[in-house]
Amino acid sequence: MTHETEEFLEKYGKTILIVLPAFNEAKTIENVMEELLEKGMQLIVIDDGSYDETTSIVGKVHKKYPQQVHLYRHPINRGLGAAISTGLEASLSKNPRVIVTFDADGQHHIDDLVPVVKPVIEKKADVVIGTRNFQEMPFRKKFGNNVMNIITRIFYGMGVSDSQSGLRAISPDAANIMELHSRDYGVSSEIIGEIKRKDLTLIEVPIETIYTDYSLSKGTDTKIGLKILARLIKNIFK
């Protein structure tokens, strides 16, 4: 962590509320949570019906930091979109200065929090999206994300460099007026749509992505595309 990050988090850490949607993230969630909690940030964890050890791990961390961790559990898995909606709704009651959505798979770098959060704290933007570098992205990820960018542009009329990024900062006012209905990964595009519909200011800042075998197995890629195709065929024969 850089000195600048440390200084910034020392000053604003307590007013940053992180929304952490988690579905079967037992391998990484403890480290991700600890790293954020040590910096004094508030965490809203939405356990989206996980059936691995996630629930007990999150419970354990919650006991360690009872004042900083707010735990919500969907009894059944309803998808990323539903988890983010629950997280945003829950966060509004905590009066944060800024709400950040953060992936629980360990792909985000804590140093990237500063550029993402700063414009919202300084009231220069309503929403900031951390844009991943597509050049560094493995091909199957790059392909999936490019397709989703095109789809977002077609259906929501707004072109952004990385519509599927999980790292975003949202001002409480913006979170309050956003109406999200999408249950799955479509929520990322829907947020872009809401930015346009509600005329919110958007800033995109470049972020780093930590690619591990684990984080590569999550998120938007060709595998998700194939899954959609499989579900599509299943639906036809149902």
Q: Could you list the residues that contact another protein (CB under 8 A)?
A: 46, 49, 55, 59, 62, 66, 70-76, 78-79, 81-82, 85-86, 89-90, 151, 155-156, 180-184, 186-187, 190, 193, 228-229, 231-232, 235-236
- Nearest distance, CB of residue 119 and another protein, angstroms: 26
- Nearest distance, CB of residue 79 and another protein, angstroms: 8
Of 86 and 165, which has the nearer Cβ to another protein?
86
Of 178 and 200, which has the nearer Cβ to another protein?
178
Of 92 and 203, which has the nearer Cβ to another protein?
92
Of 40 and 225, which has the nearer Cβ to another protein?
225
Contact 126, 194 (CB under 8 A): no
- Nearest distance, CB of residue 118 and another protein, angstroms: 30
- Nearest distance, CB of residue 46 and another protein, angstroms: 7
SS (H, E, C) the chain: CCHHHHHHHHHHHHHEEEEEEECCCCCCHHHHHHHHHHCCCEEEEEEECCCCCHHHHHHHHHHHCCCCEEEEEECCCCCHHHHHHHHHHHHHCCCCCEEEECCCCCCECHHHHHHHHHHHHCCCCCEEEEEECCCCCCHHHHHHHHHHHHHHHHHHCCCCCCCCCCCEEECHHHHHHCCCCCCCCCHHHHHHHHHHHCCCCEEEEEECECCCHHHHCCCCCHHHHHHHHHHHHHHHHC
Of 128 and 148, which has the nearer Cβ to another protein?
148
CA dihedral over 77, 187, 99, 165, signed as positive or negative: positive
Nearest to 166 by CA among 105, 90, 86, 88: 105
- Nearest distance, CB of residue 142 and another protein, angstroms: 18
Of 7 and 184, which has the nearer Cβ to another protein?
184
Nearest to 97 by CA among 17, 40, 20: 17
- Nearest distance, CB of residue 141 and another protein, angstroms: 17
Of 136 and 184, which has the nearer Cβ to another protein?
184
- Nearest distance, CB of residue 94 and another protein, angstroms: 11
